Amino acid sequence: MGKRPAPTKTQIVKMQALHELGNSDNRIARALGISNHTVAKYIKQELSPEDKKQVQELVEKIKRTELEDLTLIGAKARARLHELLDEGKTKAIETTAIMDRAFQQRRLLEGQSTENIAIANIDPETRRIVEEIARKYHEKRLEEIRQEADE
């Protein structure tokens, strides 16, 4: 077995872009079909200004594509969730959780915070009430599951 050829300039730019998007060395290596040690070596490498520009362009293109995909998926998911809610085949809390996750993913891609400011800054009494409602919901749901298991 001989030594593998060095990655091409295009592969190095892809490695840098994927790394900048938060992918691990192992994930990048799997995506490009190369060793994670090779990825680690080349993401530390200093790039020329031209290559840095290519990395930024690729990162922006990937973000735009993912944002467009999330927008489309979100629209389809909302339409389907509305259908399920109208038919009474889903619960409002589960639906809200699904939508919240999609919202957070989109905010992350847009480079915005995912902190729920409205919940983070509520007064202690309101927080206590919200926590009590959540506790009662979970107790009720556990009881429903136990009853289903007994049947």
Q: What is the pLDDT of residue 40?
A: 92
CA distance 59 to 82: 34
DSSP state of 34: S
What are residue 107's phi and psi, to 5 degrees?
-60, -40
In this structure, the number of other CB atoms found within 10 A of the CB of residue 28 comes to 24
Per residue in 62-85, pLDDT (tens digit) is 888 877 877 777 777 777 777 777
Mean pLDDT over the full length of the chain: 77
> Is pLDDT above 70 for 44?
yes
Per residue in 78-124, pLDDT (tens digit) is 777 777 777 877 776 776 777 777 777 667 666 665 555 455 556 67
Asked whether the beta carbons of 36 and 25 are under 8 A apart, the reply is yes
